[in-house]
Amino acid sequence: MANAQAPSHVGSGYWSVAVGRALIAVVPAAIITFNRDHSAQLGLLVFGVFALASGLLLVLTGPRTLTVAADRSLFLIQGIVSMVAGAAALGFHAGGHGFFLFIVSVWGAVTGFLEIYAGIRVRKRPLPAKDWLYTGIGTAILALLFLLLPPNPVVSVGLFGAYLVFLAVFLPIAGLSIKWDSPRQRRDAAVPTNTAPTNTAPKDLDSL
């Protein structure tokens, strides 16, 4: 009889969600990196598009690729929060540097906490626990730095650009690791590790 396997928490297609989040981060990261204008208005526009697109991705694909109801709820909430924050940033893109700091800090604190909590829940499984933890911690650190750093638009927008670069580099590795790990987990689950001993009665020597 095979040992009971822990729930995978992610379906076979979840790797595409991580890669999709990275692809969404690539364009805004490039815009900030190669643009001399690091104004608060640019920051709000870039953040708004990024948060809205990534939130929509989580809402549409997260529930279909996560196998545990609690995880689906956490990522659904994360997606909704991102969409609301993104829409607010786009709607008030002329809100100034103070609003940029506020909206990104709140978004980072909420979504970072949700992803850290999701990772802690599945900490016995290296994948996807460490990926959710690292991404959540990175988002939470972004929120904390926005609260502690001097109120300088160039620094704030540049810092958000660095966070996007982190996502663009880390998430594809995380997604492909999950993709390549899934077949191995299925093979391990199919191989019996414990076999019950077979009781064979001794033959009657007198019958030989």
Domain containing 30: what range?
15-187
Is residue 1 assigned to a domain? no
Is residue 200 assigned to a domain? no
Judge contact between 39 and 157, C-beta under 8 A: yes
Note the pLDDT tens digit of each residue in 64-73.
888 888 889 9
- Residues 103 and 89: their CA atoms lie apart, in Å, by 7
Is residue 207 assigned to a domain? no
How does residue 120 score in pLDDT terms, banded at 50, 70 and 90?
A: very high
Asked whether residue 5 carries a pLDDT value surpassing 90, the answer given is no
Is residue 9 assigned to a domain? no
> Which pLDDT score is estimated for 199?
52
> Which pLDDT score is estimated for 193?
46
pTM: 0.82
Note the pLDDT tens digit of each residue in 14-70.
888 999 999 999 999 999 999 888 999 999 999 999 999 999 999 998 878 888 888
Q: How many independent structural domains does the chain possess?
A: 1
